[in-house]
Structure 1
Amino acid sequence: MRRMRNIIEINEELCNGCGQCVLDCAEGALVIENGKARLVGEILCDGLGACLGGCPTGALTITQREAEEFDEAEVHRRQHEAPAAEPLPAMACGCPSSQAMTLSPAQAPCACQGEAQPVASRLGHWPIKLQLLSPNAPYLQGAELLLLADCAAASLPDLHARLLGGRAVALACPKLDDAQAHIDKLAQLIAGARPRSITVVHMEVPCCKGLEFIVRQAMARAGLDLPVGSMMIGRDGRVLEHQPPMAGVA
Structure 2
Amino acid sequence: MTQQMREIIRIDEEKCNGCGLCVPSCAEGALQIIDGKARIVKDSFCDGLGACLGECPQGALSIEKRLTDAFDEEAVHEHMKTLGKAAPAAPAASHDCGCGDGGHSHHAYHSHQGHHAAQAAAATPAVAATTATAPAAEPPRMGGCPGSALRMMQREKAAPAQAATPAQGAERPSELTHWPVQLKLVPVQAPFFEDARLVVAADCAAFAYADFHQRFLQGKSLVIACPKLDDIAFYRQKLTQIFRQNRIRSIDVIHMEVPCCTGLVHVVQEALNDAGRGAQADAGLRIPLNLVKIGIAGQVLAEQKG
**Number of residue pairs the alignment of both structures matches:** 158
| Contact 1:146 1:168 (C-alpha < 8 Å) held by counterparts | yes
What do the CA deviations read for 1:183-232 (whole angstroms, capped 9, x no partner)?
A: 01111111111311111000111110111110111112212222100111
- SS of the equivalent of 1:131 reads coil
Question: In structure 2, what is the equivalent of residue 92 of structure 1?
Answer: 142
Residue from 246, 252, 258 that aligns with 1:205: 258
Question: In structure 2, what is the equivalent of residue 116 of structure 1?
Answer: 169
Q: Which runs of 5+ in 2 are unaligned?
A: 1-33, 39-54, 58-140, 159-166, 279-286
| Contact 1:85 1:191 (C-alpha < 8 Å) held by counterparts | no
Question: In structure 1, what is the equivalent of residue 302 of structure 2?
Answer: 241
Question: In structure 2, what is the equivalent of residue 103 of structure 1?
Answer: 153
Whether 2:224 is the aligned partner of 1:171: answer yes
Residue from 186, 192, 213 that aligns with 1:133: 186
How far is the alpha carbon of 1:93 from its aligned partner?
4.0
Question: In structure 2, what is the equivalent of residue 149 of structure 1?
Answer: 202
Question: In structure 2, what is the equivalent of residue 231 of structure 1?
Answer: 292
Which protein has greater RCO, CA pairs closer than 8 Å, 6+ apart? 1
Runs of 4+ in 1 over 6 A off after TM superposition: none
Question: In structure 1, what is the equivalent of residue 122 of structure 2?
Answer: none
Give the partner amino acid of 2:146: P
Give the partner amino acid of 1:210: G
Give the partner amino acid of 1:219: L
Equivalent positions of 1:2-13 (< 5 A) are: none
Partners of 1:199 and 1:170 in 2: how far apart? Answer: 10
Partners of 1:123 and 1:166 in 2: how far apart? Answer: 9
Give the partner amino acid of 1:188: Q
Give the partner amino acid of 1:95: C
Partners of 2:241 and 2:157 in 1: how far apart? Answer: 34
| Contact 2:36 2:238 (C-alpha < 8 Å) held by counterparts | no
Question: In structure 2, what is the equivalent of residue 111 of structure 1?
Answer: none
- SS of the equivalent of 1:235 reads coil
| Contact 1:122 1:161 (C-alpha < 8 Å) held by counterparts | yes
How far is the alpha carbon of 1:85 from its aligned partner?
6.8
Whether 2:249 is the aligned partner of 1:196: answer yes
How far is the alpha carbon of 1:132 from its aligned partner?
0.9
Larger Rg: 1 or 2? 2
Superposition TM-score, scaled by structure 2 size: 0.48
Superposition TM-score, scaled by structure 1 size: 0.58
How far is the alpha carbon of 1:101 from its aligned partner?
1.6
How far is the alpha carbon of 1:106 from its aligned partner?
6.3
